[in-house]
Amino acid sequence: MMDNNRPLLEIRDLKVTFPHGKNAITAVDSISFSVDRGTTLGIVGESGSGKSTVARAVMQLITPNSGEILFDGQNLTKMSKSELREIRKRTQMVFQDPGGSLNEYMQVGKIITEPLLVHGISKGKELQKRSEELLNQVGLEPKDANRYPHEFSGGQKQRIAIARSIAIHPELLVCDEPTSALDVTVQAKILKLLSNLRDELGLTILFI
């Protein structure tokens, strides 16, 4: 049951290590934080400090060595694959490299509505309508649905990636350095877009 008084995301004593020969490298060492609903929390640090590792652990793309990752009070590290599948309807990620995260051989409309198909939420004409809505929400044109990623600039590609991430109405958006590959003027526009979407959709954002 949803409890609006508790943080949507809570990390407790998270530790992640990676094997390195006979030893192990500690990427994240006993970090704890929480993110309240409808807010944005930014994690800052030097390159290689483990920020992206935290993001991937939150999304269960890697398995932490110890600690707890609580989403709406539920410990993700203790969940089965089927339970995590349900949670992934409520959590989405925007990656650092928009070009690398988009299928260059797939039309944009299909890219951004793919999560709806994967989770069995929409099909047929509903997908086309949702595609147009999503493109409008991120500042692109409905006609862009028929184009391919290589036809867009870096900033536009990131808008496409963001459109895909909000397609299934997630509660939590994990953004892993989504502006680092963009020039300064485009960075500001993407940050403004994310801020507007947070307010418009009631998103909670973890920003790396």
CA 137 to mean position of chain CA atoms: 17
Query: Which tens digit of pLDDT belongs to each residue from 10-20?
Result: 999 999 999 98
Block residue for tokens 């990656």? 95
Grade residue 79 by pLDDT with cuts at 50, 70 and 90.
Answer: very high
**Domain 9-207 classified CATH 3.40.50.300?**
yes
**Which of 42-46, 119-123, 170-174, 203-207 is the least confident region?**
119-123
How many C-beta atoms surround the C-beta of residue 194 within 10 A? 24
Query: Which tens digit of pLDDT belongs to each residue from 141-197?
Result: 999 999 999 999 999 999 999 999 999 999 999 999 999 989 999 999 999 999 999
pLDDT the model gives residue 161: 97
pLDDT the model gives residue 54: 97
* Span 24-37, average pLDDT: 96
Grade residue 108 by pLDDT with cuts at 50, 70 and 90.
Answer: very high
Query: Which tens digit of pLDDT belongs to each residue from 113-122?
Result: 999 998 888 8
pLDDT the model gives residue 120: 86
Q: Which two tokens stand for residue 180?
A: 């680092």
Global pTM reads 0.92
pLDDT the model gives residue 2: 61
Asked if residue 1 has pLDDT above 60, the reply is no
Q: Which two tokens stand for residue 101?
A: 């995260």
pLDDT the model gives residue 152: 97
